[in-house]
Every structure is written in C-alpha cells, then in structure tokens.
Amino acid sequence: MALEPFGNEPFLDFRNPEELARTRAAVAGVQANLGQEYPLRIGGRALSGPRLFESSDPGVPSTVVGRVHMASAEQASLAVAAAQEAFAGWSRVSAWERAALLLRGADVLRQRRRELLGWLAYEVGKNWDQSDGEIAEAIDHFEWNARQLLAWSSGKEIQPLASEINQYRYLPLGVGVVISPWNFPSTLPLGMAIAAIAAGNTVVLKPAEEASVIAHQLYGVFEEAGLPSGVLNLVPGYGPEVGDALVRHPDVQFVAFVGSRAVGTAIHARAAGLVPGQKQLKRIMTEMGGKNATIVTSAADVGWAVREIVASAIGYQGQKCSATSRLILVDDVHDGLLEQLLGEIDRVASSSGPAAENWGYGPLISAAARQKVEGFVAMAPRWGKVLREGARSGEGHWLAPTVVDDVPVDCPIAQEEIFGPFLSVLRARTLEHAVELANQVDYALTGAVFSRDPKEIDFARDNFLVGNLYLNRSSTGAMAGVHPFGGYKLSGTGPKVGSPDYLGFFLQAQAITQKVRLPRSR
C-alpha cells in the first residue's frame, strides 16, 4: 500500500469570477469575526494568560484583529509537561496513522484556504496573491511530510551478517519547541511543526506576537484533523519571558526557530547549555535571514530580469528573508536596467491599498519595523546616490520603496538585513567581480543570477555561495519538495525545509542487533 506521488498544490486563480466571489465572501466572513479573544491551548485545554496582547491590522492599526492571551513562564513549563505526557502515546502511533492525520490536515486547510487568506490580510498585511502562495506551500508541507514519514519509518538498509539480525531504525526525539515569525505566519510554523509531529514528537508552538491570531487558526486545523490533545500546544508570549523559558527547559529535546539573527544566535547559545535535570543536549535549528543579492550581466534578458527583481525586492514590501536587497549590476548593463527598474517599482508601489482587497503593495508589519527601515533611509545619502526615497503615507505602517545606487560593499546598507522595501545597487566590472561582491556578507540564504550565457551560469553555479541559488528567476518563491529551503553561514544552521532529509532533524537513529544461535553440527 502506498500514497500517490507528491504534487505541489495549485494556486487559486483570482481572475476567475467564481473564485473571486468565493474569496471575497470568505474574507468578508473573517472581517465579521475580528476582535475576538483567544486563550492559550495547553494539553487540549483553553487557559487564560496573565496579559492580553491586541493584535492589530498593520494597514489600519486602530482595527483590532484579536485579543490574545499571552502565556507566563510558568504556563510555558505547563505546556512542556503536557507535551511530555502526550509523547508517550503519540510516539507509538503507527506511521500510517500519523500520515493519515497529516492528509486530513491538508484537506482541512484546503477547505479553510480562503478564510486563511483573510486572516493573513488583516493580521500581517499580506495580499491574496502573496498569501495564497504561502498557504499552498503549507498544504504541501502536510502532503510532503505524510509521504516522507512513511519513507523514514522503514529505517535504512545496513550491512548484513550471517549470525545476526540487524536493524537500523529512527525514533522520535521527544518534546520540541517551535518559535516562528510573523512574515510567513502559516507555512513557517507549519513547516517546522508538521515535520516534528510527523516524526512522532510533540510540540510547543510560540508564534510571533504579531501573527498570534493566525497561529490560533492553524491550531484549529490540527484540532479538526483529529490531532490528540497535548501533541501540539499553543503558547503565545513575549520572547524574553516565554521563549527563554521554553528554550532553557530541561525536558525540551529540540528547538526549531525562524526569525532574526540577533534572536537566533541568542537561542543557539542558550539552548546549547545544560540546566539542572537536563539529560540530553538539545538539537538546535535556526533560520536567521539574509542579505540576498541578485546579479545581472549584459547577457541577461533585461526586461524579464527587471520584473523578477522587483517582485523579489518589494513583494510583500521586502519583508521576506529571501527578498533581494542587493542588486549587483555589471557595468555595461547598469544604466539601461536601472531606468526600467525604477519605472517598474513605481508601477508596483502605486498599486497600494488594503491587503484584504488584494492590492499589490501594502504596509509594513508595525511602527517599529517602519522606523527601523526609515533609519536606513536616513543614512542612505552617506553611502550612495538615492534614486528613490521611501516616504510614509496613510494611517497605517506604510512606507514607499527606497533605491540607492553606487553603494560600497562594506557599508551598512550593503551588509545589514533591513527587512523592508530597500534596494541597494552595487556596480561590478565583470560577473566574477559581481560574485565576489555577493559573497562578501555574513549571510548566505538566497541569490539570483540573470544571464543567457551558459559559461556565466556555470561560473555562478560553482562560485556563488548561498543555500538557494536561482538562475534566471527571482530569489523568492520556494516550493516544498521542489526548492528545499535553507541557508549557510549566519543565515541558518539546520537542514532545508521541504527536502528529503529534513525529517532527519526530528529523529534519532537506533541500531538493534539480535544474535542468532545456530545449532551445532553433529
């Protein structure tokens, strides 16, 4: 018995009038349910936290999306205890039963897909087009991991020995912590949590505060799919209190994190130490962002390159770890490409409006995020020629794109992750020089090269050091199973999500040997 081969979930077509009407109705239904209160979910129980966090619409901050109970450090420990109790049963559930549950989860998410589009629009300011790609990937995680866990459940073949029966199998680790960000609030927490649960582990999920209402919707997907109580526990909370308590807890066996470099390196340091009662070193997986470069040579299709660059630089307002934030242009393509680029950026940015109505360009996630980007905008004239300066607009956290030309490779706007609509342009003499510049950062997550010259493509393939290298396409838009995602250097430590070996992070190998006593010959 086997499942059908994996296939990526198709995207919705909003040009279809029937699809457009269905999505509008679903988003309107979400709007009617804004402002509700959301308790903690620990061991299947709904519990009150000591504080409430008001999650608001980044485009209209006066609109409260939900009032979320925030956990205390003591409640974080209670969630670990609930996960520990549930592990005894869940770890012994057969691989086929776990796979069946994941397939049910995929089906539930398909049914709730348009509703989730609305929650992403209101809580994190992501339009339908961006959100649908994300939710399709989240469905893929259910489907992909259902098949992967069946492949891993049979173990691996090892060298036989005539006098012994030997087995090499994989066991779940135990209780894990998933700490997820706000910018991909469905696919990133699900990518980590689904794989952990598929492997037979139990999970405590601490989502980013700004996406905590969406996390409750995801919890509902698992609940509707029939996941037993305590296998997934949801504890929104503030990082220094709840996140730290979870990372340091002696019964936590692994930590999977996606977020900023500062938080990721702190988690890595804290989780690596021993605390009283701890009996095993924790496994730590961190994905910590990027300073991604796109290189364009004179052999490129410039019109195609421009459209792809703009999509990856200011799609979702540049709030993606995979976004192009550095554009490295070989000298002889520089002037012509920049002229087209600025025109395309103006076109996309002028289509600004509410994410819930699927406008192309939206707000940043928060006032703090906007202020951070504005700090880089203010310093930009010191480091290059400002071709387009981002300005505020509207009631919410809106900020127009910034483009700065002739940026030196060693300055802050060429080295630091800005996480917003800010593009630094660097000049290079040759492709070789461009790749050298591209590699001169602490990050190595994604990168892109546009060229129709096979020799240039081969050079980039061999010398551009990133976890995900895209040739003649944008640096964003990874799909599970097709583009396994994850970086090197200070971009991350763990295996690549959506890869054939990702599940291995959540498993530990065991070798079992049984001696066979042969009868003595007479």
- Tell me the per-residue pLDDT of 29-78, one tens digit each, with 9 for 90 and over: 999 999 999 999 999 999 999 999 999 999 999 999 999 999 999 999 99
For residue 519, what pLDDT is reported? 67
Sheet with 324-330: strands ordered across: 385-388, 402-405, 422-428, 324-330, 292-296, 446-450, 468-471
Shared domain for 158 and 281, answered yes or no, is yes
Model pLDDT, residue 521: 60
Specify whether the CB–CB gap between 219 and 234 falls below 8 A: yes
Look at residue 403 and tell me whether its pLDDT is greater than 90: yes
| CATH number, domain containing residue 59 | 3.40.605.10
Residue 270 has pLDDT above 90, yes or no: yes
- How confident is residue 494, by pLDDT bands cut at 50, 70 and 90? confident
Q: Percentage of the chain surpassing pLDDT 90? A: 97
> How many angstroms separate the Cα of 313 from the Cα of each of 57, 277, 318, 386, 418?
23, 47, 5, 16, 12
Residues 268 and 167 in one domain: yes
- 352 in any annotated domain: yes
Tell me the mean pLDDT in the region 486-499: 93
pLDDT over threshold 70, residue 264: yes
Tell whether 127 and 260 lie within a shared domain: yes
In a domain, 458, yes or no: yes
Q: Indicate the pairing of strand 252-258 with strand 283-287.
A: parallel
**Closest alpha carbon to 173 in 415, 507, 513, 522:** 507
Options 123, 137, 287, 456, the catalytic residue: 287
Residue 249, domain member (yes or no): yes
Query: 52 lies in a domain?
Result: yes
pLDDT tens profile 10-43:
999 999 999 999 999 999 999 999 999 999 999 9
| Nearest Cα residue to 309 out of 431, 189, 447, 191 | 447
Phi, psi of 7 (to 5 degrees): -140, 140
Q: What integer pLDDT is reported at residue 57 of this predicted model?
A: 98
Question: By residue range, what is the domain housing residue 400?
Answer: 292-471
- In this prediction, residue 495 has a pLDDT band, given cuts at 50, 70 and 90, of confident
Residue 394 is predicted with a pLDDT of 79
Please, which residues bridge with residue 426 across strands? 328
pLDDT for res 522 = 55
Same domain, 170 and 188: yes
Together in a domain, 256 and 306? no
Report yes or no: 264 and 287 within 8 Å, Cβ to Cβ.
yes
Same domain, 50 and 71: yes
What pLDDT score was predicted for residue 393? 84
Query: Residue 77: which residues within 8 A CB-CB, separation 6 or more?
Result: 245, 249
Amino acid at 242: V
> What is the arithmetic mean of pLDDT over 336-340?
97
Average pLDDT over residues 490-500: 92
Q: Do 181 and 52 share a domain, yes or no?
A: yes
Domain annotation covers residue 12: no
Residue 342 inside a domain? The answer is yes
The pLDDT tens digits of the residues spanning 411-437 come to 999 999 999 999 999 999 999 999 999
- List Cβ<8 Å contacts ≥24 apart for 379-384: 379/412, 379/413, 380/404, 380/413, 382/411, 383/407, 383/408, 383/411, 383/412, 383/413, 383/414, 384/408, 384/411, 384/413, 384/424, 384/425
Tell me, yes or no, whether 207 and 243 share the same domain. yes
Contact of 445 with 292, CB cutoff 8 Å: yes
Catalytic one of 9, 209, 321, 456: 321
> Is 90 in the same domain as 174?
yes
Q: What is the mean pLDDT of residues 232-237?
A: 98
Same domain membership, residue 339 and residue 250: no
Query: Does 1 score more than 70 pLDDT?
Result: no
From the CB of residue 429, how many other CB atoms can be counted at a distance below 10 Å?
12
513 touches 522 (CB < 8 A): no
Q: Are 258 and 341 in a shared domain?
A: no
Residues 503 and 447 in one domain: no
CATH number at residue 447: 3.40.309.10
Q: Active-site residue 417, yes or no?
A: no
In the block, tokens 């990721």 appear at 264
416 labelled catalytic: no
CB atoms under 10 Å from CB of 46, counted, come to 11
Number of domains composing the chain = 2
Indicate the average pLDDT of the chain: 96
**Mean pLDDT across 453-457:** 98
Q: Is 484 inside any structural domain?
A: no
Residue 4 in any domain: the answer is: no
Q: For the segment 278-319, what is each residue's pLDDT rounded down to a tens digit?
A: 999 999 999 999 999 999 999 999 999 999 999 999 999 999
Distance in angstroms (rounded) separating the CA atoms of residues 229 and 438: 47
Burial class (CB in 10 A: 0-12, 13-18, 19+), 282: buried
